[in-house]
Amino acid sequence: MRFIGLLLLSLLALNCLAQKEEIEFKEYSYTEFFQMIEEETDSVFRLENAIIKYGDPKDSLFFLTQLGTEKIFHREDTIVVTKEVRLENVLFSNSVPDSLSNPSGGKGRLRSTLYQIRFLEEVWLKNCDLLSVDRCVFDKLLNVKYDDKYPDVKDQWIQSGFASWNDIKNSTFYGGVDYSSFTNEYINTNWGLISCVIHPAKDGLGNSFWYRKQNNFWITDCTFLGEGPLFIRAWEGDQLNIDRNQFGKQQVSMQIGTEGPIQRIEISQNNFDNIILMTLPVLKEDDNVDWDQFRNGIVNRDAYILFYNYITFYKLGSIEDFIPDEDDLFSTKNIDYYFNTARIKDAKVNRDEMKLLGKLYNHYRLQHAAKFANGVFIEMKDLETANLAYIYQENPTFDSFFQWKINQFLKLFADYGTRPSKAIVFAVYVIAFFALIYLFFPNSWDAHGRTRIMDRYRFFLKYLNRDEGASEVYQEEKEKELLPFHEFREVLEREGKTAPKFFYATALPLYKWSVSGSRLSGWFLSKIDVLNGKWSEVPEKGKFFKSALVIGAFIIALIYDLFIKVLNAVMLSINTFTTLGFGEIPIKGLPRYLAIIQGFIGWFMLTIFSVSLISQLLN
Considering only 186-195, 347-356, 582-591, which range has the smallest mean pLDDT? 582-591
Pairing of strands 114-115, 123-126: unpaired
Mean pLDDT over residues 195-199, rounded? 94
Highest-scoring range by mean pLDDT, 126-135, 396-405, 536-545, 594-603: 396-405
pLDDT range class, residue 400, cuts 50, 70, 90? very high
Considering only 92-106, 121-135, 264-278, which range has the smallest mean pLDDT? 92-106
523 has pLDDT over 60? yes
Residue 510: what are its φ and ψ, rounded to 5°? Answer: -65, -40
Report the side by side order of strands in the sheet with 137-138: 79-81, 117-119, 137-138, 172-173, 197-198, 223-224, 246-248, 271-272
pLDDT range class, residue 140, cuts 50, 70, 90? very high
pTM above 0.85, yes or no: no
Which H helix or E strand runs over 212? strand 207-220
Say if CB 334 and CB 326 are below 8 A apart: no
pLDDT, one tens digit per residue, over 410-425 is 898 888 888 888 888 8
Residue 110: what are its φ and ψ, rounded to 5°? Answer: -65, 130
Say if CB 612 and CB 418 are below 8 A apart: yes
Distance (Å, rounded) from C-alpha 320 to C-alpha 343? 13
- Torsion of Cα atoms, 407 then 410 then 413 then 418, to 10°: -130
257 has pLDDT over 90? no
pLDDT for residue 6: 42
12 has pLDDT over 60? no
pLDDT for residue 3: 41
406 has pLDDT over 80? yes
17 has pLDDT over 80? no
pLDDT range class, residue 4, cuts 50, 70, 90? very low
pLDDT, one tens digit per residue, over 20-75 is 557 788 999 889 999 999 999 999 999 999 988 888 878 878 877 766 667 777 78
Residue with the larger pLDDT of the pair 530 and 17 = 530
3-state secondary structure of 70: strand
580 has pLDDT over 80? no
pLDDT range class, residue 501, cuts 50, 70, 90? confident
Q: Domain-by-domain residue ranges, the chain? A: 175-296, 301-413, 449-601
pLDDT for residue 340: 92
Q: What is the mean pLDDT of the chain?
A: 81
Which H helix or E strand runs over 552? helix 540-577
Helices 590-618, 420-438: crossing angle, 10 deg rounding: 170
- Beta bridge partners, 239, equal 216, 264
Mean pLDDT over residues 557-562, rounded? 82
pLDDT for residue 112: 56
Distance (Å, rounded) from C-alpha 545 to C-alpha 256? 83
577 has pLDDT over 60? yes
Mean pLDDT over residues 179-194, rounded? 82
Mean pLDDT over residues 193-205, rounded? 86
Considering only 34-43, 76-85, 188-197, which range has the smallest mean pLDDT? 188-197
pLDDT, one tens digit per residue, over 302-313 is 999 988 888 776
Distance (Å, rounded) from C-alpha 364 to C-alpha 340? 25
For residues 593-602, one letter each, b for 16 or more C-beta atoms within 10 angstroms of the residue's C-beta and e for the rest, the string is ebbeebbeeb
Pairing of strands 172-173, 197-198: parallel
Mean pLDDT over residues 336-343, rounded? 91
